[in-house]
Structure 1
Amino acid sequence: MARDASRDVGGVPVELLGDYLPLLADAAASGRRPDARELDGVGLLGRRAAELGVSAGSAVQLYLSAARRLWQQLPAVVRSRDSEVVRTAAAAVLHVVDEAVARLVDGYTDARRQMVRWEETLRREFIDDLLRGDADVAGLAERAVPFGLDMGRHHQIALAAPSSRSDEAGAAVGALERAVVQWGGDRDVLVATKDGWIVAMTPADTDVPGAGTLGDLLLAELGRLPRGEPWRVAVGRPYPGSYGVARSYEEAREGLTMAVRLDLDNPLIRAEQLLVYRVLLRDQPAIADLVQSVLGQLVRARGGAGPLLATLDAYFAAGAVTAETARRLHLSVRAVTYRLNRIATLTGYDPTDPAQRFTVHAAVLGAKLLGWPQRDLPADR
């Protein structure tokens, strides 16, 4: 009977029935209801079904099929001509079925919930180790298999950061994951959240005609979110292996940081676009010395160094055109010219002189990267 019920639902393991059939037979014969211990046993069988990978629907169908087959063979039903006896037996059996199935599903649900939490913990630990890049390489490669990742391939990392609200990332990650999987396939693709940002990893050789790059895809999908604030996306360069993933992530993370410090207008930042800034930051004592030597005297100006530094930044962004600088700063040309002259007087460097312009521009970029004058310059060690 139990094996027949198992075949009815595609071979679900018979062991999941446990003492269920005797409970039904006892209920039909005596009307006895299962006690708490017996129902707890059914709950454990529900947990076992989840551990075996049996779907909740199949487990429930097994119990219903077994009840149907048992009912057809119960002596109280087959031999009795008393309809009242049959009704009483049916009520008792249905009551057991109801309680047993409910407890089975409860046990199954609890087990699945714990398994999901455990899988999420493993996934988050794996992502942290992968992006950190200091874990065992062989171990990472083995742990990557359940997530469909081949650490032998070249991968690239993209980071998406909301302009202000950190909770936007959690709300957006589901929709973004579906879009990335549809774009690059369900192998070697990973989308998660970390430190309030969305992390997306795809193979570097993904080529989808007409779909653009990974960064373009993220920006387009994030732009479709309801009440979503502006996003900035940074994409690291592709590298092979698990260390390559960490390296690409570090480039993307550094790109987001630099974009904020430099106040870049472009919402899509590619690591190769920031190489010159990385060169500037490679020797912080040297760039700090440059900032101090070239721009340090701006702190003596009325209102501090901030307004004059903003003028220089707009001047270089405008291609050293005074009229365009005035338009961007909402000032008169005369006011901008006065500020540029004041800068030359205080620093000894004339930003309008082509021979000195590069030095001043490099110092301005260094100041933005180091957060000066809002933060003190790093001391020379």
Structure 2
Amino acid sequence: MTSPPPEESPAPDDHLAGFPEILAEVSATGRRLTRDELDSRRLAGERAAEHAYGLRRLVAEHLDAARTGWSALPGATAAHSTRELRRVVDCVLAATQQTVDAVAEGYERAQRLAVRKEEAARREFIDDLLHGRSDLGRLAHRAERLGLRLAHEHTVAVAEGPVAYDETDPAARRVESALLARFGDRRILLTTKEGRLVLVAPATQEDVVRSFAKQAHAAMDAMDTEGTAEGTGRVAIGRAHPGPGGVVRSYEEALGALELADRMDLPGPLLHAVDLLVFPVLSRDRQAMADLVRTTLGPLEQARGGAEPLLRTLVAWFDAGCVAAETARRLSLSVRALTYRLARVHQLTGADPADPMHRYTLQTAVIGARLLDWPARPL
């Protein structure tokens, strides 16, 4: 079966249609272009842009048409003196300038419209991809246009800073420029979503993800240095999963890691969802976890000042690896005061924080309390 011939670019005459007639009229009358004539030139520029016709080439063809057609213009042939000829030249040059301005205006307007359409389509694709709201086959086809092969495994990394970001934000532009400069076209997608920076990258390209985390932190720190915001941000990395649904899952894991870090006040600017899998497991049965917290830590509410000071002591105790001196330093207490608090926990709950047999139950209950925001929220 014979393949159809490739589509050719429009002939130059298509874009120049009507222009020689305009010059002929102007040379004879000396008038400026009418509104309809300017609109026709803008339309010619729009059509040229839609057919990927170069603007420089388009302008050059209009100038060439004015130059080569000069000798046949009625005003030029009818001129009987140098003064009349000069007047015709000025009129034709002014008309050519008006024409070129109108053509460029139409061309640029068409380009801006095309960019807006492309950006709208890209944003719609990103929304569908990260929320799994589209037919998978159609989604994969649309992904190819952006350089993604969704049949492969992908990892999603999400950066959350002290302020919300959009694609025009300096931090987003810094990260994008750094990644493009180092990796070029690596079949990655960098965007913003709900005030966060989001990277979708093939699972095999761990160097891209690491560089994204590094550049995101650098951009956030730069904003802090400039006094734009206070505090630092976090980057969370989801696990690698195959297919379009895998992108959604990795994205949700990264978001879950950021939410968990806020709730649990987890240390470190870089979070890996794979390192936090124990927390979703513990919180899956909310009622059982609430029962554990109530039974194990509920008696702490009998202490002077309520449960919060002693719960904070247990958190620091476990975070410090159950080392008394380090725990006391983190709490700005003396070791003697810390020992008194731990003894008070033992007295109220019956569980000794220093006893390995009791430690697991206490630490699990403390994690549950932080997940459930107890005692701020009643169980």
Alpha-carbon offset, residue 59 of structure 1 = 3.1
Counterpart CA distance in 2 for 1:38 and 1:79 is 24
Which amino acid in 1 is paired with 2:344?
R
Which residue identity does 2:139 align to in structure 1? L
Secondary structure, aligned partner of 2:277: helix
> Which 5+ residue runs of structure 2 have no aligned equivalent?
1-8
Cα RMSD between the aligned structures?
2.5
Give the Å deviation of 1:307.
2.0
- The corresponding residue for 1:332 is 334
1:207–1:350 distance in 2 versus 1, CA, 3 Å: closer
Residue 175 (structure 1) aligns with: 174
Please tell me whether the aligned partners of residues 261 and 368 of structure 1 are also in contact (alpha carbons under 8 angstroms): yes
Once the two structures are superposed, residues 40-71 of structure 1 have per-residue CA deviations (whole angstroms, 9 ceiling, x without a partner) of 12122222222222344333333233223323
In the other structure, the counterpart of 2:254 is 252
Report the equivalent of 2:122: 123
Instruction: Give identity over the alignment, percent.
Output: 44
Q: Hey, what's the Cα distance between the residues in 2 that align with 1:76 and 1:57?
A: 28
Q: Secondary structure at 2:155's aligned position in 1? A: strand
How far has the Cα of 1:232 moved from its partner? 0.6
| 2:205 counterpart SS class | coil
For 1:273, which of 272, 275, 279 is the aligned residue? Answer: 275
Match of 1:7 in 2: none
Q: Which amino acid aligns with 1:332?
A: S
Letter of the structure 1 residue corresponding to residue 31 of structure 2 = R
1:330-353 deviation digits (Å, cap 9, x = unpaired): 122222222222222232222122
Matches within 5 A, 1:1-381: 13-71=12-70, 73-74=72-73, 76-77=75-76, 80=79, 82-162=81-161, 164-167=162-165, 170-206=169-205, 212=210, 214-220=212-218, 222-224=220-222, 227=226, 229-377=231-379
Q: Which ranges of structure 1 fall in alignment gaps of 5 or more residues?
A: 1-9
CA deviations on 1:99-142 (whole Å, 9 max, x unpaired) are 22222222223222222222222111111110112421001011
Q: TM-score normalized by structure 2?
A: 0.88
Say whether the 8 Å CA contact 2:23–2:73 is kept in structure 1: no
Change (3 A) 1:13 1:289: farther
Shift of 1:255: 1.0
* CA pair 114-376 structure 1, distance change in 2 beyond 3 A: farther
Is the alpha carbon distance of 1:371 and 1:73 closer, same or farther for their aligned partners in structure 2, counting shifts above 3 Å? Answer: farther
> 1: CA distance between counterparts of 2:324 and 2:14?
83
User: Cα 1:355–1:99, aligned 2, differ >3 Å: closer, same or farther?
Assistant: same
Q: 1:89 Cα deviation (Å)?
A: 1.1
Which residue of the partner structure matches residue 5 of structure 2?
A: none
